[in-house]
A and B are shown apart, each in its own frame.
Chain A
């Protein structure tokens, strides 16, 4: 079978994955089947396969052990190779059991799908986990199971599955280290356990950017965006967002999610347009406090009349004027709109 984008599907596999996190290894049992061309719902799965390159924008990498191996990557390469269908089914079952072992009661039953496609010399491996049997499939007690995609899952904003794809040329030693994920189940920045169990525990992967790299990139975007802002209120809004994040660091999000979480509407869309909707701006990281404070510096000036000025130097010197007086003292002129006035006891 061939997808609309021209990938020939060499292996398609499904498994009903129960949440068996606390179950003993020997008791792990998953129901599996190789999906045939007439499988109900397969068309929908192939559409997801084709859409992965545009939908999955968060970059992840397999974590290498000391010998530059990764257990899941090795299994994936086993699925891409010319192995017999029985061998591939065995690998698919191992992966399904592993996912089951990583899934706890909160994530409930799931349907795990593996699709392997080939187009010229390029291989693509797509792994999908659908949530909850009420949404995606109905179990048949006598003859395995039938995939049944219910209407709700077709909606554009469906939050019922997570998907990862890995794509590369023929499986050589240096290939298949990078993948791309989409998590339609992820809701809000605090829902870290989902990514933990899917990306780190199951796939043995990590986000491609380190926290330090992501934080530096975020800071750089803020600085460059700030330098282009002309409206004072917009500048103030950006500085407030920085102050807010400085006071609440160690949050996990992408650069685009930062905009959603911290920027008011008047600059949110400008910022998102400025950074673009690319691989880097979608990659998730944990804001690293020291790096953030180092990159986005506030200069504090204390005067001998007990007045302190805190100046966001990363926005340039436009917020105040400084003038040297004849007697050696300095005069600072600050112009702005009062947005908050407090008396401290």
Chain B
């Protein structure tokens, strides 16, 4: 997809993303609260910026465009980060989130060696709850949000 088209489409759905973000964050918060998950430092959230999205949409892999339909294939337009104090707190959070959301994929990010002081986390790609899709993404088909 051409850059100009990506920008135009991103701008046209930005309002929907702004409405979706707090609802999804609230869903995450609610799940963790109901299931009484402890040791959560805080919950952060973000919408992928336009520049970052455009850059990713143009990514080339094996001499081909990696995301020919970026609004369906780039899956981190909305991101929620749950930060916990201890490694042992990750598993209970994941367990609860996988009950609350339909998981598509998960991936572990770990430092190369245990001694390295580096980012460590578990990424889960999940579907937007259907209720929210219906509520906010009335034009989701045309916009290609999945």
Contact = CB atoms under 8 A, between A and B. Distances in A.
A172 B72 contact: yes
Interface stretch (A71-79, A92-100, A154-162, A202-210): A202-210
B60 to A, nearest CB: 16
B34 A294 contact: yes
A278 B134 contact: yes
A208 B133 CA distance: 11
Interface stretch (B3-11, B40-48, B97-105): B97-105
Contact of B131 (A66, A206, A209, A294): A209
B130 interface: yes
Contact of A64 (B31, B69, B104, B134): B104
Interface string A171-205: 01111010000000000000000000000000000
B61 to A, nearest CB: 12
Contacts of A210: 99-102, 129
Interface in A45-64: 59, 61, 64
A212 B127 contact: no
B16 to A, nearest CB: 17
Interface string B99-137: 111111110000000000000000000010111001000
B35 interface: yes
A18 to B, nearest CB: 33
Given A173-B69, A209-B129, A209-B131, 9 more contacts: A59-B130, A64-B104, A67-B105, A208-B127, A210-B102, A278-B134, A279-B134, A280-B134, A290-B34
A291 interface: yes
A63 to B, nearest CB: 8
A290 B35 contact: yes
B78 to A, nearest CB: 15
Given A213-B27, A290-B34, A283 B146 contact: no
B35 A213 contact: no
A280 B69 contact: no
A33 interface: no
Interface residues of A, number: 28
Chain B interface: which size bin? 20 to 34
A211 interface: yes
A215 to B, nearest CB: 10
The 8 A-B pairs at the shortest CB distance, nearest first, are namely A174-B72, A212-B100, A208-B130, A294-B34, A174-B73, A213-B129, A64-B104, A172-B69
Interface of B: 27, 30-31, 33-35, 68-69, 72-73, 99-106, 127, 129-131, 134, 144, 146
A316 B129 CA distance: 28
B102 A68 contact: no
B100 A173 contact: no
A223 interface: no
17 contacts: A61-B102, A66-B106, A172-B69, A174-B72, A209-B129, A210-B101, A210-B102, A210-B129, A212-B100, A213-B100, A213-B101, A217-B131, A278-B134, A279-B130, A280-B134, A283-B130, A291-B34
A216 interface: yes
A294 B103 CA distance: 24
A26 to B, nearest CB: 34
A177 B146 contact: yes
Q: Most chain-B CB neighbours within 10 Å: which of A61, A64, A212? A: A212
A61 B103 CA distance: 11
A64 B127 CA distance: 11
A208 B127 CA distance: 9
A272 B130 CA distance: 19
Interface in A269-293: 278-280, 283, 288, 290-291
Residue with the greatest number of chain A CB neighbours at <10 A, chosen from B30, B33, B104, B105: B104
Nearest to A62: B104
A40 to B, nearest CB: 37
Interface string A77-94: 000000000000000000
A186 B131 CA distance: 24
Contacts of B30: 216
Given A174-B69, A212-B99, A213-B131, A68 B104 contact: yes
Given A174-B146, A279-B130, A208 B102 contact: yes
